[in-house]
Structure 1
Amino acid sequence: MSMSAVLPALRCVGRKQLSASTILPRHATGSHLLRINEFTKVKNMVVKVNSECSRGLQMRSSTFAVGGHDWRILCYPKGHWCDGHISLFLEHGGRRASHKPIGDIMAKIQFSILDQALEPSYTKTILMQRYGSHYQWGGFEWFMTDEDFDKEKHLKDDCLTVVCDLTVIVTGTDECMEIPPVAPPLDLHGQLAEAIWDKETPDVEIKHRSSTSVQDMDPEVSKALLQFIYTDSPPHANLLEAATTAERLLVAADRYELEKLKLVCEEALCRHIGMGSVFATLALAERHRCPVLKEACMRFLSSSGNLETVIAMDGF
């Protein structure tokens, strides 16, 4: 539903001061290839953190962009903190200046080690990883154990090849838009409505060169239509007491796309639904796209015994 369709509905229930913005989620995909030469050598290297602790060497890819954000692959050939495995992570390097995110972003991460034929031979996937101001890394502490790692299969000329396939769900927004208030309606309810319904000869005559012919509309419905158009006031309650008049006015409102008047007529016809009229009213609702009236008909038919009675009456 467009923003232009939402705003009138909000104004009708009293929200006069409005602003609006639209969040636009989209998916962006990309892949990055990381090759580590002399892998056997770097796998045995360690970095001493302090006198009691050491960890594997960190290998970092160059920065690549996906979804308006910068990313880097982090590989620990000897493991991040513990020996006996390879660790792989994806680091969020920040957003590009042209991208305006809202809150955190989500990413699907898939790491694959390629074999000597450059085909994925070992793959792990994170379906949804959160990134934001407090979430900069995501990946696998224990991506591959040393037992699963096969030099003959996973290394070519002592080079490890890793592919990261990344899908980023990013959100952007248009600028917050102040919606100008609706101009106050002209106070024409009294005199103009009286002039429309007054049967006496008017004291002012307007000459015109052409006239508009309105087909299939009786004077009573035509006057009610004009009253609504010029004064934005609903028809007199006694006018809608007759189902036939309410139906004719609904048809006219639908023809001229007067949705507010159409809804008034729908609500009036809901009060006239009965055993002998429900099918005809349902057909009317379908023909003129009246969801309120259609729902009322379906609710009536779903009441215990009503459907069977109506079918029997119509001779089905």
Structure 2
Amino acid sequence: MAFAGASLVADGMLCASTKSAVDSGADSGYHLLIVEGYSRTKETTPNGEWIESRPFIVGGRRWTIDYSPNGDNSEDEEFISVFLVLDDDINHSVKVQYVFSFIDQPELRVSKHIRQSEPVFFSERHDVHGHHGRFRFMKREVFERSKHLKHDRFVLRCDLVVLKSDGNTKEQGVGTSALPFNELSPPSDLQSHFADLLLSKEGADITFEVGGEKFAAHRCVLAARSSIFKAQLYGAMNESSVVKITDMKAKVFGSLLTFIYTDAVPEFVDMEAYDGHEIIYAPRLLQFLEAAERYDLQRLKSICEEKLASFICAETVADIFAVAERRRCFGLKEACLEFIKADPSLHATFAAGGLGQITGTRSPSLLKRLLSKFGLLKL
């Protein structure tokens, strides 16, 4: 079964890791919905509403999973509802076999069980047949006492097989046959396994205390991903199992751990620069960039730099420039300079002392270089 990506839900909302859908590249695949903070989703998502997963592609069609912690309608308010949704506008119906299971129910994911499931017929998203699922997937009271929910976290898995069709009609059952499971060579599911390891805390041997919250982790994973963590956690005489971090926000550190384990970035890294998003999300991105630099996570640092370059505006350029200089983000710093140079309204501000505020206690040589860069400002 091909891996079709994973979605992480935290603090009651989806944490987006990419803008585009994950393509399994096969006619059968599975997607993971990882919910961290189940009680939060129950509080913030009322009956009749749902949290939508990231899109994923199986069988050449685009899908999402809808998760309703308080039920899809008033008749099911005591239950958790889950649905598989056909999320494209292709005017051809498709026949699918699918199974929802929790990550600790491997017996439901064997190929025989899935092939024996009742095939269902999906049409366009906005059609009445655009989604199928379980209105009463599990009674909430039973779920909350079950082994599936651990430390307010659970992982839902959706396996699906898109049945082949010889025609392009919307008629059911026209020359359909399932792709044999033994012909698939599944891709790496390392990311999903490490995500589960972080969420389950199984085998954790180090605890971080950050902003009043505790985070369990694994020394070997951190050391493998970060030379800084390796030096700190495996340095001489370092046998402490608790590390206190006082100069970082808990949410930033939590997102940092998620990236270390899964390579996934939090939702705000994926936000587009419009409607004031620059002012809202640039400070959070700057904190994330500083954390990446602090723990020598160069790929994460590059991702933050690229996104921050699109968030440069009159309100954010000073703060972005200051961090770019401090953290040696040369490309980002140049982007700030070009923005200032291209906006004549900023020249007077900087000439009146604003540029000195940006550079703060930076070296005079830097200030001179900036002035010559503009050609409009004089010492």
TM-score by length of 2: 0.32
Higher strand share: 1
Question: Relative contact order, CA 8 A, sep 6+: which one is greater?
Answer: 1
Q: Which has the larger radius of gyration?
A: 1
Could you state the TM-score of these two structures normalised by the residue count of structure 1? Answer: 0.38
